[in-house]
Amino acid sequence: MGDLVEEFEIQFIDGDDLDAALFEALAVNQATILPFIEKLDEWDEDEKLRLIIAVSEVGYSFDIAKDDPLSIVRDFWTDTGVV
């Protein structure tokens, strides 16, 4: 038998609607909660909104700790012909 594993659920309970939608879109978990909190203040509203659309609506993958939202946002809008 293996070691016991504890499972935790992380919920977004305090913040604005945009940050809650971003939390949901990025599927924040134990491994990504700290980078997520750090990035909330760094990203502006426009970056957050475009990132939500690219990840949750189109299916782009995004690593909170490593990826730059501007690069995925730029790629997404270029691919769609908007930019």
Claim: this prediction has a pTM higher than 0.85? no
pLDDT tens per residue, range 3-33 = 777 777 888 888 899 999 999 999 998 889 9
pLDDT tens per residue, range 50-72 = 889 889 988 888 888 888 877 77
What pLDDT shows up at residue 18?
Answer: 96
How is the chain split into domains, by residue range? Answer: 17-80
**Burial group, residue 32, by CB count within 10 angstroms (0-12, 13-18, 19+):** middle
What pLDDT shows up at residue 83?
Answer: 52
Sign of torsion over alpha carbons 38, 43, 48, 51 = negative
